[in-house]
Chain A
């Protein structure tokens, strides 16, 4: 699904969090948003998900206003947001339940996605029995289970250790190549953005604006250590550094 943001501005009691954000994400594209802490990345995703109203501007999904589409968006939260009172299966079933899908079918669908993220053995476990990496796999399965046309991910692997993060990045890249979802992925980890994205939107320090729109022409599966990736990483890091210093 194509996502278009037109002049999105968001203020909280006079504090400008986002200023004039305009960009388009094409159908099937994996776009990463990279920016310094506090520049409004989460706020931007929340606005796109319909959890927050923009102060100004307009959001279009396939050319139509957001309100017609709320249910076609999946959101993966940094803090996982799993329901502790539901086991893995029932967590993944949640969105299907809201959509009124009958019990048997939603169990079947949920199991399929749990298998996809490699957690079939843990269907009956409760979130507190899972590691961080497993929890986020459940979070991803839950978001994908309703087959959303747009997937929003807010630093989904931010709380994980480096090894686990790399593994999940690879899994996510594979999943995406299979499912071909439109993905908007927020991170402040430049390596992650280069590994996953078709495009990287660099944001300025608060108030957040789009500073650069970089298209990555790197072949997939990505090689983290390729000279192109290294050069790109250096360039992005320098830009980010400037932004962070400016904000101090």
Chain B
């Protein structure tokens, strides 16, 4: 009695948080177990854990690749699309957020393209990239991205790019617009040029929003790559792995393992960026 009382009321909030995390995980696994007894197709937690171990150590039966190899392949694609998206979205967001003319010119286009789901770009991506495959610049870009001659990989990177682009763009625009005008006035009284205002005021002041956009964008990109890999043409990736396991019939434990890998990677990416965010913004 007494010890269980202390279990719940430990003074350190950090430890309490951890305990809650463990408790919720245990409850989840118990519920999962009960459910798996009931629905035969759902693998039990133990089956899943065993399969997971197999997949990590031995690999899957079709291509003989381990789960982490597949995951790493997906991560590489995500990072490529995400970095391109970031590099384009941030400057564009600053320009749209700061200059009315750019906003008037581009807002309509952005708002029309934004509702198109990233996955809806896949067919067009295949058509375009197949058509462009022989051109020099396609080969240069593909080479620079380390994608070889795979049109499918190019499409995946493109889909991730589309997915990551809009959250980063919109958050950047919002952040730039929300910059307290007094900071800009201060800079102007010191004689700052527009360039200095952008670099020394607008960018640091909107950084919290930009980082939020990056975090959301990376998350969306991660969802996109998995879905894009399922569509076909890819030679590796968690999405392909899950789809292959489904195609060979059954393999529900393997499918669940793939999903767990996706969830874990997404979780870790988010935590890393949250950590960066807290580190960089001790001022806010």
Q: Taking beta carbons and an 8 Å cutoff, which residues of A are in contact with B?
A: 46, 49-51, 70-71, 73-75, 77, 79, 81, 83-86, 94-95, 97-99, 126-128, 146
Contacts and interface: CB of A to CB of B under 8 A. Distances in A.
Nearest to B281: A85
B98 to A, nearest CB: 17
B283 A70 contact: no
A83 B190 contact: no
Contact of B190 (A77, A84, A94): A94
8 contacts: A49-B188, A50-B188, A83-B183, A85-B283, A85-B284, A98-B196, A128-B283, A146-B190
Q: Which 10 residue pairs spanning A and B have beta carbons closest together? A: A71-B191, A95-B190, A75-B189, A81-B182, A126-B283, A81-B186, A85-B204, A98-B190, A84-B283, A98-B192
B201 interface: yes
A79 B190 contact: no
Interface of B: 180, 182-183, 185-192, 196, 200-201, 204-205, 207, 281-284
Contacts of A71: 190-191
B184 to A, nearest CB: 9
Contacts of A83: 183, 186, 201, 204-205
A75 B188 CA distance: 10
A126 B187 CA distance: 18
Given A51-B185, A81-B186, 15 more contacts: A50-B188, A71-B191, A75-B185, A75-B189, A79-B182, A81-B183, A83-B204, A85-B281, A94-B190, A97-B200, A98-B191, A98-B200, A99-B190, A126-B283, A128-B284
Contacts of B284: 84-85, 128
A81 B185 contact: yes
A51 B189 contact: yes
A83 B183 CA distance: 7
B189 to A, nearest CB: 4
Given A71-B191, A99-B190, A126 B282 contact: yes
A51 B205 CA distance: 20
A85 B210 CA distance: 14
Contacts, number: 61
A115 to B, nearest CB: 21
A95 B186 CA distance: 9
B281 to A, nearest CB: 8
Nearest to A127: B283
Contacts of A97: 200
Given A77-B185, A97-B200, A85 B207 contact: yes
Contacts of B187: 94, 98
Contacts of A74: 189
Nearest to A69: B191
A73 B189 contact: yes
Contact of B191 (A70, A79, A86): A70
B68 to A, nearest CB: 38
Contacts of A70: 189, 191
B52 to A, nearest CB: 43
Contacts of A98: 187, 190-192, 196, 200
Given A81-B183, A83-B183, A49 B189 contact: yes
Contacts of B207: 85
A46 B200 CA distance: 22
A3 to B, nearest CB: 15
Contacts of A126: 282-283
B217 to A, nearest CB: 22
A128 B283 CA distance: 7
B21 to A, nearest CB: 30
Contacts of B200: 94, 97-98
Contacts of A79: 182
A1 to B, nearest CB: 15
A27 to B, nearest CB: 20
Given A97-B200, A126-B283, A127-B283, A85 B189 contact: no
A49 B192 CA distance: 13
B186 A77 contact: yes
Contacts of A50: 188-189
